[in-house]
Amino acid sequence: MSSFVLVHGAHHGGWCWYKVAALLEAQGHRVLAVDLPGHGRNAGAPGTMRSYIDYVSRLLETEAEPVILVGHSMGGAVITGVGEACPNKIAHLVYVTAFLAENGVSMTGALSAQAGADGMVPVSDLSELVYHDCPVEDAMLARLCQTPQAVEPLVTPVMWTAERWGNIPRTYIGCTLDRVFPIAEQRRRTAIHPGANWVELESSHSPFFSMPAKLVAYFTALTN
């Protein structure tokens, strides 16, 4: 069996993976759904991209074997940084409709532009943008559990090298109904990084809610 480390996106926490984690554990896999600094049960001081990367890297250093490291949305930037920091601890990188870009590029965009004077992007109702094909109870869970998002991680460039991050096997799972990262943009991202496996789901930005079984099937295929 394999070990999976699941990294959430902006405003979210480890809670968003609850369906995926349950399905993976039912198959005998080990699962850690992390709460990045400032999120979920790790609430407190707002996180930075450096603190996100360092936090996940420290968790991986305690693992006996390389893990399958999964990142959703903003979590894609985080797992890229972790891949650069400790490539020997990662068996496979999985990007779930996630941020992936050229070396030295940040996530600066529409989300970061919503930040207030305190450097935080406030929580808002994302039902029609992020959860439009998800069960209503999961959209409500998200509304109850979301936390404000620090803008610093969104505007900090993510650094990687071909020798470290670039040598880790990786898969990109594109979501064709995504209203946050349009599918054409997702395809463009993978095209600038030849060598990644590409698969698609007919899902919104939140396949962990809308079709967890299909998402898990893609994950577990990597363990065969």
Annotated catalytic residues are 73
For the chain, give the number of residues: 224
CA distance 58 to 41: 17
Query: What are the backbone dihedrals phi and psi of residue 4, each rounded to the nearest 5 degrees, phi first?
Result: -115, 135
Contact partners, residue 47, CB within 8 Å, separation at least 6: 36, 37, 38, 39, 55, 150, 152, 153
How many of the other CB atoms lie within 10 Å of CB of 143?
14
